[in-house]
Amino acid sequence: MDRMHKIPSTRGFFYACRFSLTHFRPAYRHRKVFFYGLKEVVIPTCSGLRQGMVHAGILSCKEKPMLTPLIQTPQCAIHRIEDTINTPVDRLVVSTPETRAIANDPLVMGVDYTRRLKTACTQILSLLKKEEQICLEEQETIVYDILRGGLNFGLREALADAFSWNRHGGSFISAQRARDDDAPEKWHIVESEYSKVYMPKRASIVIGDVVATGTSLEHAMKALVAEAEKQGTSLRSILFFTYGGPRAEEILKTADTMCRERFPHYQGTTLVYLEGRFIIPTDETPLSIKVTGTDLLRTGALMAPEFVESQYEHPAYPIQRCTIYDAGSRAFWTPEYIEDLTHYWGETLKLAEGGVGYRQLLAERFPELDPTRFGDVDLARICQEQIDQLK
What pLDDT sits at residue 16?
34
Separation of alpha carbons 382 and 7, rounded Å: 40
What 3-state DSSP class applies to 27?
A: coil
3-state SS track over the chain: CCCCEECCCCCCCCCCCCCCCCCCCCCCCEEEECCCCCCCEEEECCCCCCHHHHHCCCCCCCCCCEEEEEEEECCEEEEEEECCCCCCCEEEEEECHHHHHHHHCCCCCHHHHHHHHHHHHHHHHHHHHHCCCCCCCHHHEEEEEEECHHHHHCHHHHHHHHHCCCCCEEEEEECEEEECCCCCCCEEEEECCCEECCCCCEEEEEEECCECCCHHHHHHHHHHHHHHHHHCCEEEEEEEEEEECCHHHHHHHHHHHHHHHHCCCCCEEEEEEEEEEEECCCCCCCCCCCCCCCCCEEEEEEECHHHHHHHHHCCCHHHCCCCCCCHHHHHHCHHHHHHHHHHHHHHHHHHHHCCCCHHHHHHHHCCCCCHHHHCCCCHHHHHHHHHHHCC
What pLDDT sits at residue 197?
79
Q: Which of 270, 391, 368 is nearest to 59 (CA)?
A: 368
The answer, as to whether pTM is greater than 0.75, is: yes
What 3-state DSSP class applies to 67?
A: strand
Separation of alpha carbons 363 and 360, rounded Å: 5
Q: What is the CA radius of gyration of the chain?
A: 21
What pLDDT sits at residue 379?
98
**Tally of CA atoms within 13 A in the half-sphere of 266 that contains its CB:** 23
Reading the chain (391 residues) residue by residue, the pLDDT tens digits are 344 444 444 333 333 333 333 333 232 223 222 232 233 333 333 323 334 344 444 443 446 789 999 999 999 999 999 998 889 999 999 999 999 999 999 999 999 999 999 999 999 999 999 999 999 999 999 999 887 777 899 999 999 999 999 999 988 786 554 556 565 565 444 445 656 778 899 999 999 999 988 888 898 889 899 999 999 999 999 999 999 999 999 999 999 999 999 999 999 999 999 999 999 999 999 999 999 988 999 999 999 999 999 999 999 999 999 999 999 899 999 999 999 999 999 999 999 999 999 999 999 999 999 999 999 999 999 999 999 999 9
What pLDDT sits at residue 172?
73
What pLDDT sits at residue 31?
27
| Amino acid identity at 239 | L
Separation of alpha carbons 336 and 228, rounded Å: 36
Cα-Cα-Cα-Cα dihedral sign, residues 356, 362, 364, 365? positive
What pLDDT sits at residue 362?
98
What pLDDT sits at residue 174?
60
What pLDDT sits at residue 322?
96
What pLDDT sits at residue 173?
81
What pLDDT sits at residue 219?
86
Domains and CATH numbers, the chain: 93-278 (3.40.50)
